[in-house]
Amino acid sequence: MAYFPSYNRYDTMKYNRCGKSGLKLPAVSLGLWHNFGGVDALENGRAMIHRAFDLGITHFDLANNYGPPPGSAEENFGRILKQDLSAYRDELIISTKAGYYMWKGPYGEWGSRKYMLASLDQSLKRLGLEYVDIFYSHRPDPNTPLEETMGALDTAVRQGKALYIGISSYNAQQTKEAVGILKRLGTPCLIHQPSYSMFNRWVEDGLLDVLEEEGVGSIAFSPLAQGLLSDKYLKGIPEGSRAAKPHGFLKAKDITEEKLMKVRKLNDLAAERGQSLAQMAVAWLLRGGRITSVLVGASKVSQVEDNIAALNHPEFTGEELERIEAILRVS
């Protein structure tokens, strides 16, 4: 059946300017890290992408190694794009990354010019695209000069294979250096993609300040701490959840009783606000306007809807923020 997106898809989504650029991103973006690979049901992924676009999500985030198997998320998204969304390409922001292990040999990971540009060519082939909107260095490489990695990103833009470039998981000092190099090259850094959640707040120790000073946008991944900041694990580890899958990043051993106690208290506060815990966790990241977009994952359509509904109640009172801090401080 042919897909026709909702006529009202832009009516309710909030779009935030990305740093000092001319680009706006939806406050909530969809990440294809999990549940869009070759081991997952294609039609479920298709339904989630359709629903996300219907609700105003224009940004879909990938990486070369997303799957499993690696590369299959790009292949599946490319298939859906060709079949259902090709007429709407100019309404979409599609990103991919290179940095983690992708193929055998000395040129299959990290940040060399050889790897970065070869990986981008492979990603474009899997996606069936001539260019991506954003191409990232997925992680800093301790053994490759930063100038080389940033130079590869600059080349990608000059070749017309990426419109913008970004970095992911670089610390504050690395980010400042990378941004400076890119400015000198004439291809400014658009965005930084760090992990950030109530349980993972390393970005508050200098990185957000650097991004603000340099005019670089930000998009937070793992906002729900791999699903821990939801009602999913309140009563144990459900079958089919990330913690129950052997290939997931969230392991059963990470779900401690101490964390569950905090999750239950946060869940109670979310209920008082008339939100799910997942919605409150997303809204909390957007507080104060320092995060451009929150990158959410989903395993079913209702989770896409639930995450976007966080934007229905984005404000926090001072008392609510204090209560959240008190819950998180308990050890």
How far apart are alpha carbons 126 and 43 in whole angstroms? 18
* pLDDT on residue 236: 66
Residue 193 phi, psi (nearest 5) = -115, 95
Q: What angle do CA 297, 288, 198 make, to 5 degrees?
A: 45
pLDDT (0 to 100) of residue 150: 98
Predicted local confidence at residue 255, as pLDDT:
78
- CATH numeric code, 15-227+285-315: 3.20.20.100
Q: Where are the domains of the chain?
A: 15-227+285-315
Question: Are 172 and 144 contacting, i.e. CB atoms less than 8 angstroms apart?
Answer: no
Cα distance between residue 298 and residue 317, in whole Å:
28
Before 68, cis peptide (omega within 30)? Answer: yes
Q: According to the 3-state scheme, what is the secondary structure of 48-82?
A: HHHHHHHCCCCEEECCCCCCCCCCHHHHHHHHHHH
For position 235, what pLDDT does the model report?
Answer: 77
Whether residue 241 contacts residue 227, with contact meaning beta carbons closer than 8 Å, is answered with yes
pLDDT tens sequence for the chain (331 residues) = 799 999 999 999 999 999 999 999 999 999 999 999 999 999 999 999 999 999 999 999 999 999 999 999 999 999 999 999 999 999 999 999 999 999 999 999 999 999 999 999 999 999 999 999 999 999 999 999 999 999 999 999 999 999 999 999 999 999 999 999 999 999 999 999 999 999 999 999 999 999 999 999 999 999 999 889 998 888 766 665 555 455 556 666 677 888 889 999 999 999 999 999 999 999 999 999 999 999 999 999 999 999 999 999 999 999 999 999 999 998 6
